[in-house]
Amino acid sequence: MPPESSGRAVIVGASLAGARTAQALRRGGWTGPITMIGAEPHPPYDRPPLSKGILLGRADRAGIALLSAEQCAGLGIELRLGRPAVGLDPVARHVALGDGTRVGYDALVVATGSAPRVLPETVADGPRTGVHVLRTLDDALALRESLSAGARVVVVGGGFIGAEIASSCRALDLDVSIVEADRVLMGRGLGTRLGAAAAVRHSAHGVRVLLGRRVARLHGQDRLTAVELDDGTELPADVAVVGIGSRPATGWLEGAGLTLDDGVVCDETLAAAGVEDVYAVGDVARWRARRYGTTLRTEHWTGAGEQAAAVAATLCGTRTEYDPVPYVWSDQFGAKLQIFGRVRPADEVVVLDGDPESDRFIAVAGGEGRLQGVVALNAVKAAIRLRRSLSEGASWPSVIDDLRS
């Protein structure tokens, strides 16, 4: 039984998933108090523009706001910003904040997202001007400031965010290299064949793509001067951006009785295992995905909003399972890359139209007898059509037969 909708809802994490949960709770008829607690000093803002419009100077702070302090006040949502949650007592039902206060709840929603991984100390020994990560608005503004004309940039990590940063740097006409330990670019999202094509595309746009290499050491006393790779290559650099993935922000939940395993482990309704009336949404949630018969955790903008809607519906009295076709997009070199579903290393990939090394293509991936993923670059309409087959769980042979007939 979910708690009464006149109870007190507390949301920890004041960003996309948290803000969307608060809004959906009010829309769904939650009449009780809602408190949203955020570690950052800013009201909720959108992260995708941080690696795109903000770096390019085409978007600003106001343009990426998700929910202003005034809108929160209008919805009766209490915002407590600049104060991280540091602990949870699910028996006494309160959250402890860094300033020593406690906030009681009837329903708790964990929306603390993820935090960037950093280089080991053997590689980056101490702080140096010029070394950045990109997760927050403050990170993005600091990085933007350092991207002055003529700056030489090394992006460490060739995932989506690294690839977007490289693309933005090229748009600013900067010298940029990507160093990726894997043999393929964006391999986790695109698989081997399409990831290899993406590396060709990045090279064609002027990015130096160094695959199968790791960063061995950062050079420079107080300011970065070069990035040394594990084969001895030294890349002169003024700026390094470390984009080597992120970890779910669950440190504050250690020992609280929740099941933590690369995220807050939840059931199909995003209810946290091991405790009552606690839910997780967004990058921090690992939920039981019926569609795949396994647990999943994604770091996708669309999923965060959908999860917020599902949890709010459950809390407002309509038990709602979350079983989506995962979706992520990425903007690089003026083209929109979209991935519906998933592409795993062993999946068969068939290119239906266009050329993956160019600025337009559409491809499907299949495995275990089913259509598993659709990948499109600048082919939005065709991708939406195939998405239906994906959500219906279409068999791989039937998809291939249809396409050949």
Contact status: 113 vs ligand FAD (CB under 6 A): yes
Restricted to residues 160-179, the positions that interact with ligand FAD (CB under 6 A) are: 161
112 binds ligand FAD (CB under 6 A): yes
What is the amino acid identity at position 228? E
Say how far apart CA 86 and CA 88 lie, in whole Å. 7
DSSP assignment string, 105-163: -SEEEE---EEE----TTTS-S--BTEE--SSHHHHHHHHHH--TT-EEEEE--SHHHH
Count residues contacting ligand FAD (CB under 6 A)?
37
Beta bridge partners of 289: 294
What would the DSSP string read from start to end of 186-217?
Answer: THHHHHHHHHHHHHHHHHHTT-EEEES--EEE
Q: Which stretch binds ligand FAD (CB under 6 A): 9-17, 26-34, 146-154, 196-204?
A: 9-17
Nearer to ligand FAD, 246 or 395 (CB): 246
328 sits near ligand FAD (criterion: CB under 6 A):
yes
Q: DSSP 3-state assignment of 281?
A: coil
Backbone angles phi, psi at 291, to 5 degrees: -50, -40
Stretch that binds ligand FAD, among 47-55, 119-127, 312-320, 351-359 (CB under 6 A): 47-55
CB of 232 to ligand FAD, least distance (A): 31
* Residue 198 makes contact with ligand FAD by CB under 6 A: no
Task: Tell me: does residue 282 bind ligand FAD (CB under 6 A).
Answer: yes
- Which position among 30, 252, 279, 333 is part of the footprint of ligand FAD (CB under 6 A)? 252
Q: Of 31-39, 58-66, 259-267, 383-391, which part binds ligand FAD (CB under 6 A)?
A: 31-39
- Decide the pairing of beta strands 208-211 and 175-180: parallel
What is the Cα 232 distance to its own chain's centre?
32
* For ligand FAD, the closer CB: 59 or 216: 59
Q: Using CA atoms, how far apart are residues 116 and 41, in angstroms rounded to an integer?
A: 18
CB of 44 to ligand FAD, least distance (A): 8
Which of 13, 158, 356, 366 is the binder for ligand FAD (CB under 6 A)?
13
CB 300 within 8 A of CB 287: no
Q: Which stretch binds ligand FAD (CB under 6 A): 125-133, 259-267, 298-306, 346-354?
A: 298-306
How far are the Cα atoms of 79, 258, 281, 284, 286 from residue 268, in angstroms, in the given order? 29, 16, 12, 15, 10
| Position 108 contacts ligand FAD (CB under 6 A) | no
Q: Which stretch binds ligand FAD (CB under 6 A): 110-118, 208-216, 351-359, 386-394?
A: 110-118
Residue 47 near ligand FAD by CB under 6 A:
yes
Q: Closer CB to ligand FAD, residue 143 or residue 399? A: 143
Instruction: Identify any residues that bridge with 226 across adjacent strands, giving them in sequence order.
Output: 219, 236
DSSP notation for 329-360: EEEETTEEEEEEE---TTSEEEEEEEETTTTE
Please tell me whether residue 50 binds ligand FAD under the rule CB under 6 A.
yes
Out of 34, 93, 109, 114, name the contact with ligand FAD by CB under 6 A. 114
The two three-digit tokens of residue 346, written as one number: 């062993």
Residue 232 burial (10 A CB sphere; 0-12, 13-18, 19+):
exposed
Stretch that binds ligand FAD, among 42-50, 62-70, 228-236, 288-296 (CB under 6 A): 42-50
Task: Please identify, using beta-carbon distances, which residue of 11 and 364 lies nearer to ligand FAD.
Answer: 11
Residue placing its CB nearer to ligand FAD in the complex, 23 or 213: 23
- Residues within window 202-241 making contact with ligand FAD, judged by CB under 6 A: none
Beta bridge partner(s), residue 128: none
Q: What is the largest CA-CA distance in the chain?
A: 67
User: Taking the complex as a whole, how short is the minimal distance between the CB of residue 196 and ligand FAD, in angstroms?
Assistant: 22
**Contacts to ligand FAD by CB under 6 A:** 12-18, 37-40, 47-48, 50-51, 84-85, 111-114, 134-135, 161, 249, 252, 282-284, 299-302, 304, 328-330
